[in-house]
């Protein structure tokens, strides 16, 4: 049996329509990829614009025990510290008021603030600094 005669009556898509269909598919894929990349890059750069880091922690033993905390910003935009949590384990941290109450950190600067906290000598404390945007900064320090 001759296969050429058998399929002779069926018409295929023309080469011009096939080429146009491939172009439309390629353009649609390019537009979708572009939209996804711009959305992803936009959210990534917004989160990375404020990057806090621990610069120093000092335990102050006076009439009121305090902890002086220095937090820096290695990002490209200013950010604010919303809360500071301190505890003897990562799961038992409690929120504490800071002095000053509003802490704004400009890019490439370090800001100092104090927290009234009755710390004990040789005890390890867990800190969690929560900014208004971006990732939470967690670290540990041992009292002298």
Which CATH number fits the domain that encloses residue 66?
2.60.40.10
pLDDT band at 100 (very low <50, low <70, confident <90, very high): confident
pLDDT band at 46 (very low <50, low <70, confident <90, very high): low
Taking the model in full, what pTM does it have? 0.65
Query: Does the pLDDT at position 38 exceed 60?
Result: yes
**Mean per-residue pLDDT of the chain:** 85
Instruction: Write out the two tokens for 113.
Output: 């603030």
Judge whether 126 and 86 are in contact, CB under 8 Å: yes
pLDDT band at 17 (very low <50, low <70, confident <90, very high): confident
Are 57 and 120 in the same domain? yes
Are 60 and 100 in the same domain? yes
Quick one: pLDDT at residue 10?
63
* Rounded Cα gap, residues 71 and 122, in angstroms: 23
Are 57 and 124 in the same domain? yes
81: domain range? 52-142
Are 82 and 127 in the same domain? yes
Among 55, 88, 84, which Cα is nearest to 71's?
Answer: 55
Are 10 and 57 in the same domain? no
Are 40 and 56 in the same domain? no
Domains in the chain, number: 2
Are 43 and 83 in the same domain? no
pLDDT band at 77 (very low <50, low <70, confident <90, very high): confident
């Amino acid at each position: 049996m001759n296969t050429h005669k058998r399929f002779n009556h069926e018409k295929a898509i023309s080469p011009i329509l096939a080429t146009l269909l491939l172009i439309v598919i390629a353009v649609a894929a390019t537009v979708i990829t572009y939209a996804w990349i711009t959305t992803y890059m936009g959210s990534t750069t917004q989160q990375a614009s404020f990057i806090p880091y621990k610069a120093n922690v000092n335990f102050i033993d006076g009439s009121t025990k305090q902890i002086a905390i220095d937090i820096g910003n290695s990002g490209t935009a200013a950010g604010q510290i919303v809360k500071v949590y301190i505890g003897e384990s990562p799961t038992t941290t409690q929120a504490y008021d800071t002095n000053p109450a509003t802490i704004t950190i400009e890019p490439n600067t370090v800001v100092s603030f104090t927290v009234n906290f009755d710390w004990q000598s040789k005890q390890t404390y867990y800190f969690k600094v929560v900014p208004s945007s971006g990732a939470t900064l967690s670290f540990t320090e041992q009292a002298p």
